A and B are shown apart, each in its own frame.
Chain A
Amino acid sequence: MVARAAREIAPGMVVNLGIGLPTRVVNHLSADFPVCLHTENGLSGIGPTLGYDKADRNLIDAGGAYVSTVPGSACFDSATSFAIVRSGRLDLTMLGAFEVSATGDLANWKIPGKFSPGAGGGIELAQKARRVVVLTTQTDRVGNPKLKEACSLPLTARGCVTRIFTDMAVIDVTPAGFALVETADGVSAAEVAEATDAPLALPDTAIPTF
């Protein structure tokens, strides 16, 4: 699924990869692929992640991983970094999720009573990137679907998600709700529908696999 999500990145884009699964997308981009990766703690032009022995103590991404620069990288303060985000300079952000609704609402920062460490920069990314896609497992650890008719958790942003990449499928958020685009190799459309807690429209044609 991470490799499939990486194909969502078009040449020339400015992209922010959220903490968690999305960060791993970088491993599927070749060294000569033309893209500018942004991290909200103040770096554009992120290079490969470095091991501890080669790490620069002053160069991390927003998740705390030690990263490198590429020729042409720029460093800036947090106000400049979020000016980039809020003014629509991010072509794409890939975020994790607890829940996504059939209208594209995203909940990924708070589980009342259990998990409330703060959203960091996630709200601005979800609300202001020109395209927001989600990378997540189809169900949570106990098997509950993460794609639902409506979110039950506090929202990060409303109506922001346009596409979801899971371990089972690629699913679009359309004006009519969730629509199946692709399935993972060996997964049937019926299995994806079973693991989705909302109506799932199927394409008229054969469903591609990834």
Chain B
Amino acid sequence: MRLPNKTRAIEEAIAGIKDGDTVMVGGFGVPGTPMTLIHALVDHGAQNLTLVKNDANEPGMGIDHLLQSGQVARLITTHLGLNSNAIAQMNSGALEVEFNAQGILAERIRAGGAGLGAVLSDIGIDTELAQGKQVVEMDGKSWLVEPALRADAALIHADRADPFGNLAYVATAQNFNPLMAMAATCVIAEVETLLPLGGLEADAIHTPGIFVDHVVELGQLSEEYAVVRR
């Protein structure tokens, strides 16, 4: 037996994304943001997207390209502080923004990927973040119901992969990637180094290839991946 090969050309990998889809995008700042897949999605042109991403990157970087092209109707996120374009779109009403506490966004995605319906949390329970959320009592305590999140597609950036889609991340480029890689119907991973089957130590794999649908090997990395000199 041998494991199936999921390597694809980038256009083929993202061809299934449709108007109105929900798309998860990995990354926290530059590390782990799938810059190349994001550009491919701009070229692909799907409209009226809901994006799920920790942050909105910075002007001219990452998902800012999708905001600038007008393809994003809604953004589920935790913090936009470094992207003035995103804040301007939010304030003008062009972009609907849903803020989540960062670890709660992570847990909602993890729950979505783990086949669960929701998680219970007390984060923000006595603040305005609790407004509109269902409250349940358990063990004599009140908890907010935080619904699981799933997406139609997830765009993932990994450091190393094999053709089956086993993925390994480096340093702080891990962040939301392994969670989102479990929580979408179609999981597309761009990878810096594609190794042959067996090239990744079985014990060093962060995301098992079972979760991954398409593997896109990156060539020379663009400047967008580089150290940002602010």
Q: Do A and B come from one complex?
A: yes
Check A42–B127 contact: CB distance below 8 A: no
Check A55–B103 contact: CB distance below 8 A: no
B203 within 8 A of A: no
Question: What separation, in Å, do the CA atoms of A41 and B36 have in the docked complex?
Answer: 22
Q: Which residues of A contact B172 (CB under 8 A)?
A: 39, 41-43, 58-61, 75
Q: Which residues of B contact A48 (CB under 8 A)?
A: none
What's the interface size class on A, roughly?
A: 35 or more
Contact of B123 among A40, A76, A79, A86 (CB under 8 A): A86
Chain A proximity mask over B66-85: 1 for CB below 8 Å, otherwise 0: 00000000000111111000
A72 within 8 A of B: no
B129 within 8 A of A: yes
Interface residues in B110-146 by Cβ distance below 8 A to A read 110, 121-124, 126-129
Check A56–B171 contact: CB distance below 8 A: yes
Question: What separation, in Å, do the CA atoms of A157 and B172 have in the docked complex?
Answer: 27
Given contacts A86-B123, A118-B77, A154-B127, contact A77 B179 (CB under 8 A): yes
Interface residues in A152-203 by Cβ distance below 8 A to B read 154-158
Contact of A81 among B103, B126, B206 (CB under 8 A): B103
The chain B residue sitting closest to A66, CB to CB, is: B227
Interface residues in B1-53 by Cβ distance below 8 A to A read 28-32
Question: What separation, in Å, do the CA atoms of A120 and B80 have in the docked complex?
Answer: 9
Given contacts A77-B174, A156-B127, contact A120 B78 (CB under 8 A): yes
A75 to chain B, nearest CB (A): 6
B211 within 8 A of A: no
Check A60–B174 contact: CB distance below 8 A: no
A82 within 8 A of B: yes
Check A60–B78 contact: CB distance below 8 A: no
A123 within 8 A of B: yes
Contact of B178 among A62, A77, A120 (CB under 8 A): A77
Q: Which residues of B contact A75 (CB under 8 A)?
A: 170-172, 174
Q: Which residues of A contact B94 (CB under 8 A)?
A: none
What's the interface size class on B, roughly?
A: 35 or more
Question: What separation, in Å, do the CA atoms of A112 and B94 have in the docked complex?
Answer: 19
Question: What separation, in Å, do the CA atoms of A156 and B175 have in the docked complex?
Answer: 23
Check B29–A41 contact: CB distance below 8 A: yes
The chain B residue sitting closest to A110, CB to CB, is: B128
Check B127–A117 contact: CB distance below 8 A: no
Q: Which residues of B contact A149 (CB under 8 A)?
A: none
B106 within 8 A of A: yes
Contact of B29 among A40, A64, A82 (CB under 8 A): A64
Interface residues in A10-45 by Cβ distance below 8 A to B read 39-43
A91 within 8 A of B: no
Interface residues in B186-229 by Cβ distance below 8 A to A read 206, 225-229
The chain B residue sitting closest to A53, CB to CB, is: B227
Given contacts A121-B101, A121-B102, contact A78 B80 (CB under 8 A): no
Q: Which residues of A contact B230 (CB under 8 A)?
A: 64
Check B31–A60 contact: CB distance below 8 A: yes
Check A124–B110 contact: CB distance below 8 A: no
Q: Which residues of A contact B229 (CB under 8 A)?
A: 52
Check A124–B102 contact: CB distance below 8 A: yes
Check A64–B82 contact: CB distance below 8 A: yes
Given contacts A57-B227, A59-B172, A119-B101, contact A82 B106 (CB under 8 A): yes
Q: Show 11 residue pairs from A and B whose CB-CB distance is below 8 angstroms, ordered by the A residue.
A: A42-B174, A43-B171, A58-B31, A58-B170, A59-B172, A61-B172, A77-B176, A86-B123, A118-B81, A124-B101, A155-B127
Which 6 residue pairs of A and B lie closest in terms of their CB atoms, listed nearest first?
A: A82-B103, A120-B79, A117-B81, A121-B102, A58-B171, A78-B106
